[in-house]
């Protein structure tokens, strides 16, 4: 009987072993790509976009999520790992490289088991059992922060920043990040923390400003300093003081008619400005441009008018000042104003900015980052954002676990002990999960140029003897009690990392068929040459 073709001519299908091999190869390649960035001694990658001359055309980073987001991935299994890394970044902020490397190691172990003719569903079942054991072991080892939450936050921030570009100044940035997060008073609203990047100076000149900074200035001849500010925030066109001739035709029989049209436009704008001034505000901030004529009217009324506040900036301003963005000005009694104690000009490097002090949302603050190049500033922002996300996560559920590979070996040891109680082929999958977890401290040692085989076996022996706080001291190249060294991590970050990697691996293992749709056919081009 002749084979029946079901798919279109240009559609592709991979089945069984071929599909599984394709998934394994793609996912493991992604893990190998980011593996060298793991740990305090991990290396950076340079990412060059299609147009290197453009802004942001070149990135220098060791952040797993940024690397995976920036590279073009065609393999479907690799895309699963990229999405998982992005989810980890959004959920808890850190552990994006660890989660990708762990998933790749789990798939490596699964590939060996598949080659031993063990069914993927048996491997999945074993992995699920091992995940439950790992989660329970991690939960048992976690410690509540209690009254020491500030000290624990500082240690977590130092650990998070220790593997990033800010590691040389981690003490300074850890204090800065913890101060910013504690100002939030547990709300976890990171929109209240604004990060401003300014070229020049060195990274240790970065500081936390207890106010809101806006990279705009008031108009000409307007007040440069306002106390007890009553602020109207708007998104409205203030540029109709000129006749717009683009896309329209105005036919007149003399120049005087043009002057009359301009006068009518001016009168319309003056009425609009009078409505705004009728709100009795002394500061007006607009999302759009404010042209010369309305700017002059605001100056005559001694009102500070700030134009072209970028949309993200004006959204955050409304949040911080307690006001609402308005577009019409017919009912002043319903408008919700923003308030702050003082608006003044400040200088950062060569740039002038406006600082809003004593804002209604008291937890609002701004972090000013300094650096020698744009790439350093961008990587510093990514690193600080990761630290802030981790700290906010920890404030919500303040449990800590030992870092520096201690938690991974703890989970691996617990899984190895329990695997002896599991019967059948499933036991092999449970053991494989434990071996994959033990690969993380091995890779951290390899990236630091240490003898990973010696250190990891010593570490496993310490854990077998009940010393579960022992991890790898990267600086001295030996095993040590990492909790005494202050190397601790947030329990939620570690739990999310292990769970996400196991779930993504399970999804990839379930695949036995890859069908690629036929590309959309282009309509024939019948135009003459």
The residue ranges of every structural domain in the chain are 12-144+401-516, 146-211+365-397, 213-361
pTM over 0.85: no
Q: Is the domain 146-211+365-397 a CATH 3.30.260.10 member?
A: yes
3-state SS assignment for residue 233: strand
Active site residue 74: no
Q: What secondary structure letter does DSSP report for 204?
A: G
Report which secondary-structure segment, H or E, holds 47. strand 45-48
**What does the pLDDT read at residue 9?**
63
CB 227 within 8 A of CB 392: no
E strands, 288-328, are 304-306, 325-326
**What does the pLDDT read at residue 115?**
86
**What does the pLDDT read at residue 57?**
75
* Maximum separation of any 2 CA atoms in the chain, in Å: 99
Class of domain 213-361: alpha beta
**Rounded Cα–Cα distance for residues 487 and 159 (Å):** 6
Active site residue 310: no
User: What's the number of CA atoms in the CB half-sphere (13 Å) around residue 88?
Assistant: 35
**What does the pLDDT read at residue 313?**
65
The catalytic residue among 63, 89, 152, 241 is 63
The CB density around residue 457, as the number of other CB atoms within 10 Å, is 12
Active site residue 239: no
The catalytic residue among 152, 386, 483, 505 is 386
CB 60 within 8 A of CB 373: no
Active site residue 97: yes
Structure-block tokens of residue 372: 């020698």
Note the helical H segments in 397-466: 406-419, 426-447, 452-464
**Rounded Cα–Cα distance for residues 469 and 463 (Å):** 8
The catalytic residue among 37, 96, 100, 442 is 96
**Rounded Cα–Cα distance for residues 21 and 17 (Å):** 6
Structure-block tokens of residue 155: 């240690």
**Rounded Cα–Cα distance for residues 376 and 369 (Å):** 10
Encode the chain (529 residues) as per-residue pLDDT tens digits: 556 566 666 666 666 677 777 778 888 888 888 888 888 888 888 888 766 666 567 888 888 888 888 887 778 888 888 888 888 888 787 888 888 899 999 998 888 888 888 888 898 999 999 999 998 988 888 888 777 788 888 888 888 888 888 778 888 888 888 888 888 776 767 777 888 888 887 888 888 887 778 787 887 888 888 888 888 888 888 776 455 555 566 677 777 877 777 777 788 888 888 888 888 888 888 888 888 888 888 888 888 888 877 656 677 777 778 888 888 888 878 888 888 888 888 888 778 888 888 877 767 778 888 888 888 888 888 888 888 888 888 888 888 888 888 888 889 888 888 888 888 888 899 999 988 988 888 998 888 888 888 888 888 888 888 888 888 888 888 888 888 888 888 888 888 889 988 988 888 888 777 666 666 667 776 776 5
The catalytic residue among 37, 61, 66, 97 is 97
Fold of 12-144+401-516: GROEL; domain 1 (1.10.560)
Residue for token digits 């309509």?
Answer: 523
């Amino acid at each position: 009987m002749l084979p029946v073709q079901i798919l279109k001519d240009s559609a592709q299908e991979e089945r069984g072993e071929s599909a599984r091999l394709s998934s394994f190869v793609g996912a493991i390649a992604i893990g190998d790509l980011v593996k060298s960035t793991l740990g305090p001694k991990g290396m950076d990658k340079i990412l060059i976009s299609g147009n290197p001359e453009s802004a942001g055309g070149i990135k220098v980073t060791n952040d797993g999520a940024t690397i995976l987001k920036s590279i073009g991935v065609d393999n479907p299994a690799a895309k699963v790992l990229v999405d998982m890394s992005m989810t980890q970044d959004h959920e808890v902020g850190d552990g994006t490289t660890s989660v990708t490397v762990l998933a790749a190691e789990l798939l490596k172990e699964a590939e060996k088991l598949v080659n031993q003719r063990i069914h993927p569903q048996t491997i999945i079942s074993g992995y699920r059992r091992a995940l439950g054991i790992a989660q329970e072991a991690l939960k048992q080892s976690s410690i509540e922060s209690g009254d020491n939450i500030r000290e624990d936050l500082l240690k977590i921030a130092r650990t998070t920043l220790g593997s990033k570009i800010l590691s040389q100044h981690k003490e300074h940035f850890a204090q800065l990040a913890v101060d910013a997060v504690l100002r939030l008073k547990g709300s976890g609203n990171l929109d209240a923390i604004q990060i401003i990047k300014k070229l020049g100076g060195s990274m240790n000149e970065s500081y936390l400003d207890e106010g809101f900074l806006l990279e705009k200035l008031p108009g000409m001849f307007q007040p440069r300093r306002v106390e007890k500010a009553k602020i109207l925030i708007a998104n409205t066109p203030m540029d109709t003081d000129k006749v717009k001739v683009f896309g329209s035709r105005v036919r007149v029989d003399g120049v005087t008619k043009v002057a009359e049209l301009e006068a009518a436009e001016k009168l319309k704008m003056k009425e609009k400005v009078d409505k705004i001034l009728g709100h009795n505000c002394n500061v007006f901030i607009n999302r759009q441009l404010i042209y010369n004529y309305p700017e002059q009217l605001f100056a005559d009324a001694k009102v500070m008018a700030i134009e072209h506040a970028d949309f993200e900036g004006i959204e955050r301003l409304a949040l911080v000042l307690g006001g609402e963005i308005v577009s019409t000005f017919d009912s002043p009694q319903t408008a919700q104003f923003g308030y702050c104690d003082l608006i003044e000009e400040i200088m950062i490097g060569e740039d002038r900015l406006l600082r809003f002090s004593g804002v209604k949302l008291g937890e609002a603050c701004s972090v000013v980052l300094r650096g020698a190049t744009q790439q350093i500033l961008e990587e510093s922002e990514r690193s600080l954002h990761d630290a802030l996300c981790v700290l906010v996560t920890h404030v919500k559920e303040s449990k800590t676990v030992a870092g520096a590979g201690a938690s991974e070996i703890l989970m691996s040891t617990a899984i190895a002990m329990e695997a002896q109680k599991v019967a059948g082929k499933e036991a092999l999958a449970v053991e494989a999960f434990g071996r994959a977890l033990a690969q993380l401290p091995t890779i951290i040692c390899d990236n630091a140029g240490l003898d990973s085989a010696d250190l990891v076996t010593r570490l496993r022996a310490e854990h077998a003897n009940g010393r579960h706080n022992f991890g790898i001291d990267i600086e001295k190249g030996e095993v040590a009690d990492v909790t005494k060294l202050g190397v601790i991590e947030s329990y939620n970050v570690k739990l999310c990392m292990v769970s996400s990697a196991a779930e993504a691996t399970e999804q990839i293992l379930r695949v036995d068929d890859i069908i690629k749709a036929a590309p959309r056919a282009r309509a024939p081009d019948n135009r003459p040459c």
